[in-house]
Structure 1
Amino acid sequence: MGNNRDHNPRELRSWARRTGFHSSAFFSGESNASSAAPQPPPPPPPATSRRPPRAAPAPVRQRGPDPDTEDDLDPAPPLDLERGPAPGRGRGGHGGRPRRHIDLRGELEIPPGFGREEAVPDLDAGRGGGGGGRGDARRRNGGVERDQAAANAGRNVNGALGDAEARKKAEEAEAKRKEEEERDAELAAYYQEQWANEEEEEGVAHAAAGETAPLYGASGLRCGITENPGWVPLIFYGIQHYLSIAGSLVFVPLILVPTMGGSDEDTATVISTMLLVSGLTTILHTFLGSRLPLVQGGSFVYLAPGLVIANSEEFRNLSENKFKHIMRELQGAILVGSVFQIILGYTGLMSLFLRLINPVVVAPTIAAVGLAFFSYGFPQAGSCVEISLPLILLVLLCTLYMRKISLFGNRIFLVYAVPLSVAIVWAYAFFLTAGGAYNFKGCSSNIPSSNILLDSCRRHVETMRRCRTDVSTAWKTAAWVRVPYPFQWGPPTFHFKTGIIMLIVSLVASVDSLSSYHAASLLVNLSPPTQGVVSRGIGLEGITTFIAGVWGTGTGSTTLTENLHTLETTKMASRTALQLGAALLVIFSFFGKIGALPASIPVALAASVLCFTWALIVALGLSTLRYTQAASSRNMIIVGFTLFISLSIPAYFQQYEPSSTLILPSYLLPYASASSGPVHTASSGLNYVVNALLSINVVVALLVALLLDNTVPGSRQERGVYIWSDPKSLEVDPATLEPYRLPEKISCWFRWAKCVGI
Structure 2
Amino acid sequence: SQDGVEGQDYKVRLEDARCPGLDVANGDEEDKASNSPLPLTPEEPDMMYTLGDTVPLPLCILLGVQHFLMSFLSTPPLPLFLSGPLCMAGDEVGISELIGVNIVSAGIATLMQTTLGVRLPIVQGNSVAFLAPTLAILSLPRWQCPPVVTVNDTDAGLATFLNITTGNGSSLFVLTGSAEHKTIWQSRLAEVNGAILVAALLQVGLGFSGVLGAMLRYMGPLCIAPTIALIGLSLFEAAAQMAAGLWWIAILTVILVVVFSQCLDRVSVPIPCFSRRGHGVQRTTFRLKLFALFPVLLAVVISWLLCLVLTLTDVLPRDPEEWGHAARTDTNQRVLQQAPWVRIPYPGQWGVPTVTTAAVLGMMAGVLASILESVGDYYACAQVSAAPPPPHHAVNRGIGTEGLCCMIAAGLGAGSGSTSYSQNIAALGITKVASRGVILVCGMLLVGLGCVGKVGALFVTISKPIIGGLFIALFGMITAVGLSHLHHVDLLKQRNMCVLGLSLFLGLSVPNWVAKNKDAINTGSPVADQIFEVLLSTAMVVGGLVGFVLDNVLPGTDEERGIFRGRSTTTAANGEKITVSTGVYRLPFLDYFGVFSRLPCLGRLPFLPGAKIQSA
CA deviation profile, 1:649-672 (whole Å, cap 9, x unmatched): 21221222xxxxxxxxxxxxxxxx
C-alpha separation between the residues in 2 aligned to 1:695 and 1:562?
Answer: 29
C-alpha separation between the residues in 2 aligned to 1:737 and 1:252?
Answer: 36
* 2:372 corresponds to which of 482, 492, 511: 511
C-alpha separation between the residues in 2 aligned to 1:253 and 1:739?
Answer: 35
What is aligned with 1:705?
547
* 2:327 corresponds to which of 467, 477, 495: 467
Q: Where do residues 479-628 of structure 1 align in structure 2 (5 Å cutoff)? A: 479-567=340-428, 569-628=430-489
Shift of 1:577: 0.9
Shift of 1:572: 4.2
CA deviation profile, 1:520-543 (whole Å, cap 9, x unmatched): 333333333233322222211111
C-alpha separation between the residues in 2 aligned to 1:118 and 1:332?
Answer: 46
* 1:436 corresponds to which of 281, 296, 314: 314
Counterparts in 2 of 1:248 and 1:642: CA distance versus 1, 3 Å: farther
Segments of 5+ residues of structure 2 without an aligned counterpart are 15-27, 34-40, 147-163, 165-173, 175-179, 270-285, 610-616
What is aligned with 1:755?
606
Question: Are residues 1:477 and 2:325 paired?
Answer: no
Question: One-letter code of the match for 1:345?
Answer: G
Question: Are residues 1:253 and 2:98 paired?
Answer: no
C-alpha separation between the residues in 2 aligned to 1:606 and 1:388?
Answer: 8
CA deviation profile, 1:669-727 (whole Å, cap 9, x unmatched): xxxxxxx253210111111111111111122222122112222333333333364889x
Report which stretch shifted further, 374-383 or 732-741. 732-741
C-alpha separation between the residues in 2 aligned to 1:719 and 1:559?
Answer: 27
Question: Are residues 1:716 and 2:558 paired?
Answer: yes
Contact 1:217 1:227 survives alignment (8 Å): no
Question: One-letter code of the match for 1:293?
Answer: P
C-alpha separation between the residues in 2 aligned to 1:218 and 1:278?
Answer: 33
Contact 2:55 2:437 survives alignment (8 Å): no
What is aligned with 1:383?
245
Shift of 1:513: 1.8
Question: Are residues 1:646 and 2:488 paired?
Answer: no
Shift of 1:117: 9.3
Question: One-letter code of the match for 1:558?
Answer: T
Contact 2:450 2:456 survives alignment (8 Å): yes
Shift of 1:217: 6.5
C-alpha separation between the residues in 1 aligned to 2:406 and 2:49?
Answer: 29
Counterparts in 2 of 1:485 and 1:392: CA distance versus 1, 3 Å: same
Shift of 1:83: 7.7
Counterparts in 2 of 1:551 and 1:738: CA distance versus 1, 3 Å: same
Question: One-letter code of the match for 2:290?
Answer: I
CA deviation profile, 1:17-67 (whole Å, cap 9, x unmatched): xxxxxxxxxxxxxxxxxxxxxxxxxx317x9xxxx9xxxxxxxxxxxxxxx
Higher relative contact order (CA 8 A, sep 6+): 2
What is aligned with 1:359?
221
Counterparts in 2 of 1:474 and 1:118: CA distance versus 1, 3 Å: closer
Secondary structure at the counterpart of residue 553 of structure 2: coil
C-alpha separation between the residues in 2 aligned to 1:332 and 1:299?
Answer: 16
Contact 2:12 2:569 survives alignment (8 Å): no
CA deviation profile, 1:386-434 (whole Å, cap 9, x unmatched): 4222222222221222122112343211221110111111111111101
Secondary structure at the counterpart of residue 438 of structure 2: helix
Contact 2:358 2:534 survives alignment (8 Å): no
Secondary structure at the counterpart of residue 400 of structure 1: helix
Contact 1:296 1:560 survives alignment (8 Å): yes
* 1:742 corresponds to which of 579, 587, 606: 587
Secondary structure at the counterpart of residue 249 of structure 2: helix
Report which stretch shifted further, 736-745 or 612-621. 736-745
Question: One-letter code of the match for 1:284?
Answer: M
Shift of 1:361: 2.2
Secondary structure at the counterpart of residue 751 of structure 1: helix
Question: One-letter code of the match for 1:467?
Answer: A
What is aligned with 1:241?
67
Counterparts in 2 of 1:315 and 1:397: CA distance versus 1, 3 Å: same
CA deviation profile, 1:370-395 (whole Å, cap 9, x unmatched): 11111122342133134222222222
**Rg larger in structure:** 1
Counterparts in 2 of 1:92 and 1:537: CA distance versus 1, 3 Å: closer
Contact 2:46 2:432 survives alignment (8 Å): yes
TM-score, normalization: structure 2? 0.78
Shift of 1:463: 3.2
C-alpha separation between the residues in 2 aligned to 1:575 and 1:533?
Answer: 15
Segments of 5+ residues of structure 1 without an aligned counterpart are 1-42, 53-81, 94-113, 120-214, 446-457, 657-675
Question: One-letter code of the match for 1:522?
Answer: Q
What is aligned with 2:52?
226
Q: Where do residues 229-308 of structure 1 align in structure 2 (5 Å cutoff)? A: 229-262=55-88, 263-308=91-136
Shift of 1:548: 0.7
Contact 1:269 1:595 survives alignment (8 Å): yes
What is aligned with 1:419?
297
What is aligned with 2:188?
326
Question: Between Structure 1 and Structure 2, how many residues are aligned?
Answer: 525
Contact 1:296 1:558 survives alignment (8 Å): yes
C-alpha separation between the residues in 1 aligned to 2:244 and 2:96?
Answer: 25
Counterparts in 2 of 1:313 and 1:288: CA distance versus 1, 3 Å: same
Question: One-letter code of the match for 2:313?
Answer: G
Question: One-letter code of the match for 1:485?
Answer: Y
Shift of 1:220: 3.7
Shift of 1:336: 0.8
Contact 1:531 1:724 survives alignment (8 Å): no
Report which stretch shifted further, 357-366 or 331-340. 357-366
Counterparts in 2 of 1:719 and 1:422: CA distance versus 1, 3 Å: same
Residue identity (%): 29
Question: One-letter code of the match for 1:370?
Answer: G
Shift of 1:487: 1.0
What is aligned with 2:149?
none
Counterparts in 2 of 1:115 and 1:603: CA distance versus 1, 3 Å: closer
Contact 1:678 1:691 survives alignment (8 Å): no
Question: One-letter code of the match for 1:717?
Answer: E
What is aligned with 1:44?
2
Contact 1:223 1:571 survives alignment (8 Å): yes
Shift of 1:744: 3.4
Secondary structure at the counterpart of residue 125 of structure 2: strand
Question: Are residues 1:342 and 2:168 paired?
Answer: no
C-alpha separation between the residues in 1 aligned to 2:209 and 2:425?
Answer: 28
Shift of 1:496: 2.2
Shift of 1:302: 0.9
Counterparts in 2 of 1:288 and 1:118: CA distance versus 1, 3 Å: closer
Contact 2:13 2:569 survives alignment (8 Å): no
Shift of 1:245: 3.8
Contact 2:126 2:419 survives alignment (8 Å): yes
- Decide which structure has greater strand share: 2
Contact 1:357 1:511 survives alignment (8 Å): no
Question: One-letter code of the match for 2:590?
Answer: K
Secondary structure at the counterpart of residue 297 of structure 1: strand
What is aligned with 1:205?
none
C-alpha separation between the residues in 2 aligned to 1:557 and 1:255?
Answer: 16
Shift of 1:279: 0.5
C-alpha separation between the residues in 2 aligned to 1:677 and 1:239?
Answer: 51
Counterparts in 2 of 1:427 and 1:352: CA distance versus 1, 3 Å: same
Secondary structure at the counterpart of residue 356 of structure 1: coil
CA deviation profile, 1:541-581 (whole Å, cap 9, x unmatched): 11111101110000112223544544455554322211111
